[in-house]
Structure 1
Amino acid sequence: MNPVRWGVLSTAKIGRERVIPAMQQSQLCDIRGIASRDPTKARKAADELGIKNSYDSYEELIADPEIEAVYNPLPNHLHVPWSIRAAEAGKHVLCEKPIAMTASEARDLITTRDKCGVLIEEAFMPRHHPQWKKVRALLNGGKIGEVRAVQAAFSYHNVDPMDVRNQVKIGGGGLYDIGSYCITLTRYAFECAPSRVCAIIDYDPTYETDRLTGAIMDFGGGRQASFLCGTQMARYQGLVIFGTKSWLRVDCPFAMPGDWRARIEIGANIYPGAPVGETEEFEATDQYMLQGEDFSSRLRTRTVGDFPLEDAVLNMEVIDAIFQSGKSHSWETVGNNR
């Protein structure tokens, strides 16, 4: 199978430090070019990463017939506009999360995908890690009984005014950045979307971004999930799934270095406390590499993945409802603006 020829829109830190080096490990990913509005930055990044071509503009990259697929790690407010432009130029697109600023914007991508006949997907790398595929198998096999609840948390401390995550006008804030992980992997556990949400959101008085968000999600039939995400708190990540027979804890559910040995713990279901009954460890693997490889493989084989754009729209509908609930201080229906 011939490798896919990739171009990268921007010299964003996540691309330079995590995604590009990981994708370069795959035989299915050939990173051919990187673009920046600053030619010096583009050439510097290309030289440091061993990339053949640098481009002085995003337009130049997506016009290059040598490029087959585009990775888009631009600031959140540019995800949809540049993904659409790339698709209209005939490029397949892997776009960083969140796929859009609203569910309505995400639906525009579906329209573009269908019109242009290209592959467009949202980059949520944890779903490609073997630990999450094992979680799905354990849940479907009844290992912890019927899934009744999920609790998740993701936080870090960042007060840098120059960081895009602290700039509200371009899509900064914790819910977009890390709350989106809690939502998508909770939905992964339940294999459906919540029907309604209720949230409390604390906004930074200077940056106007959400710095602490807590939400409850109603999955019907008494099933529920709760999560919190914070950008001015101690660094933490964790996710626990509670069933009728036991519980399952994902040690490092969201972001991890490529050399990290992931671990799943299953409760012993005995008193007192919450002792672990079983533990499963996984060989170190880079989930960014797996993500790029999966996208490239499906592009070549023309197969549909487990997480098409329709799934990204569902995630954005939950985010929309959480933001609305933070304003209304009441339960909000998910997908109310369809």
Structure 2
Amino acid sequence: MGKKRIGVLGCAHILDRALFTPLKSLEHLGVHAIASRTKPKAESYADKHGIPHAFGSYEELLACEEVDFVYIALSNELHAEWAIRALQAGKPVLVEKPICLNTEELRRLMDAQAASGLPVLEGLMVQHHPWQSKIKRMVGENAYGRLLQVRSQISVPFQDPERQNYRSFPERGGGAFYDFGCYWLQFLQAVLGLEPLGCDAESDFAGPGGCDWTFRAALEYADEVRAELVASFELPGISRHTLEFERAVVTVDDFFRASMGTYRITIRIQDKQTGAVEKLAFEPQNYFVNQLAFFSDVLDGTKDNVPIAQSYERMAMHERLLALARAKRPGNPLASG
């Protein structure tokens, strides 16, 4: 099969590390066209990255018959509309996270996907790495006894005093939970499922525009297993999952690192009785290389796609937690789900 030609909607900063750099490792994929609502911006990206075609509208790119699939790197509030329009134009879609802003949008996208029969993949790049499967096996096999709790922190310091970034606008999917909560929910979905017995969430929504600059959430599972998240734009930079079992503490630290380039991910296992530490290190990998290779295989029919229903399950839980947090602003009584 020949080289697959990608059409890119949007000129977002993430393209350098999510697409252009990873493609250097994937000879069977290449960017054929890029579109922006400002044609000089598209032309600037095309000149810099050697892209054959630059368009001044998204419609023009979708009408390009030479494009094999579309990569959507637009602002969050535009994801649903342009994913649907790409499918209607006969293009498979890889869309940056979050796939949509709410379940209503996602239902429309799911209808469009079903009507087209074309694959749609939400760009949660961390799921394309074997460390998650390894953790899932540890839990499923009771490798270190019964799982007791899961603690996750995902924080990246971020400031936007002049409100120039989508993260400062609630209506555009701003706030720490929209940015980071999807990674937590995907991890729990893969390891424990997303059918908890109860849930809770809180934030003071003190960020720009009333966004959540720090968000805390918890899911309660059977056997008293509790999964907690701290997502923040205020706390020091951390991306860490810690799983406490009866006999060991298992940590995946700095798990975002493989989104910045080709790096090693290590699982640290500490025996609770002896203190002895075992490290399981994976060969250096790049999440975005893995994600693009996976989607290419899906298009070739050699791998099954991640079901879009998983995105819906995550978005439904996202909405539930966000509603809980908003319902109990400071001064309101504690609510629980």
Q: TM-score, normalised by structure 1?
A: 0.91
Equivalent residue number for residue 209 of structure 2 = 207
1:133-172 mapped onto 2 (5 Å cutoff): 133-160=133-160, 161-172=163-174
Task: Please state whether the residue corresponding to 2:283 is helix, strand or coil.
Answer: coil
Distance 1:223 1:23 in 2: 40
Q: Which residue of 2 aligns with 1:53?
A: 53
Distance 2:271 2:322 in 1: 38
1:312 and 2:311 matched = yes
**1:328 alignment counterpart:** 327
Change (3 A) 1:227 1:328: same
Tell me, yes or no, if the aligned pair for 1:16 and 1:45 is still in contact at 8 Å.
Answer: no
Q: Indicate which of 268, 273, 279 corresponds to 2:271.
A: 268
Instruction: Return the offset for 1:224.
Output: 1.8
Distance 2:130 2:36 in 1: 34
CA distance in 1, matches of 2:231, 2:296: 31
Which has the larger displacement, 208-217 or 294-303? 294-303
Question: Is contact 1:187-1:194 (8 Å) kept?
Answer: no
CA contact (8 A) 2:34 2:55 kept: yes
Q: Which amino acid aligns with 1:176?
A: Y
Q: CA deviation at 1:324?
A: 0.9
Pick from 183, 186, 192 the counterpart of residue 184 of structure 1. Answer: 186
Cα drift, residue 190 of structure 1: 1.0
Q: Are 2:206 and 2:212, in contact at CA under 8 Å, matched by a contact in 1?
A: yes
Q: Offset at 1:117?
A: 1.1
Q: Provide closer, same or farther for how the CA distance between residues 316 and 86 of structure 1 changes in structure 2, counting only shifts above 3 A.
A: same
**Structure 1 Cα separation of the partners of residues 84 and 27 of structure 2:** 27
- Specify whether residues 285 and 328 from structure 1 end up closer, same or farther in structure 2 by C-alpha distance, changes over 3 A only: same
Any stretches of 5+ residues in structure 2 without a counterpart?
329-334
- In structure 1, the residue matched to 2:34 is 34
SS of the residue 1:233 aligns to: coil
Partner of 1:258: 261
Amino acid at match of 1:258: G
Q: More strand per residue: 1 or 2?
A: 1
Deviation at 1:310, TM superposition (A): 0.3
Specify the alignment match of 2:16 in structure 1: 16
CA apart distance, 1:193: 3.6
What is the number of residues matched between the two proteins? 328
Q: Where do 5+ consecutive residues of structure 1 fail to align? A: 333-338
What CA deviation, in whole Å up to 9, does each residue of 1:126-182 have, x standing for no partner?
Answer: 111232233233333432233332110111221222122122232111111012212
Distance 1:152 1:294, change over 3 A: same
Distance in structure 2 (CA, Å) of the matches to 1:316 and 1:15: 24
Tell whether 2:249 aligns with 1:247: yes
- CA distance in 2 between counterparts of 1:109 and 1:195 reads 29
Runs of 4+ in 1 over 3 A off after TM superposition: 137-142
SS at match of 1:45: helix
CA contact under 8 A between 1:265 and 1:279: conserved in structure 2?
A: yes
Partner of 1:260, secondary structure, is coil
The amino acid across from 1:320 in the alignment is E
Instruction: Summarize the Cα distance change of 1:205–1:134 in structure 2 as closer, same or farther, 3 Å threshold.
Output: closer
SS in 2 for 1:79: helix
Deviation (angstroms), 1:185: 1.0
More RCO (CA 8 Å, sep 6+): 1
Cα distance in 1, alignment partners of residues 207 and 90 from structure 2: 43
Post-superposition Cα deviations, 1:75-101, rounded to whole Å, max 9, x if no partner, equal 111111110000110110111111111
| TM-score, scaled relative to structure 2 | 0.91
Compared CA separation, residues 113 and 142, structure 1 to 2 (3 A) = same
Aligned-partner SS, 2:142? coil
Cα distance in 2 for residues equivalent to 1:260 and 1:54: 32
2:217 is paired with a residue of what secondary structure? strand
The question of whether the paired residues in 1 share the 8 Å contact of 2:8 and 2:71 is answered with yes
The one-letter code sitting in structure 1 at the alignment partner of 2:323 is: Q
How many angstroms apart in 2 are the aligned matches of 1:328 and 1:114? 35
| Counterpart AA for 2:63 | A
Whole-angstrom CA distance in 2 between matches of 1:7 and 1:158? 30
Distance between the aligned counterparts of 1:253 and 1:318, measured in 2? 23
Which letter does structure 1 place at the counterpart of 2:182?
S
Question: Could you tell which deviates more after superposition, 159-168 or 34-43?
Answer: 159-168
Other-structure match for 1:198: 200
Q: Quick one: structure 1 residues 28 and 192, their matched pair in 2 at CA, closer, same or farther if it must change by over 3 Å?
A: farther
Name 1:335's counterpart in structure 2: none
Aligned-pair distance for 1:211? 0.7
Change (3 A) 1:263 1:88: same
Change (3 A) 1:81 1:276: farther
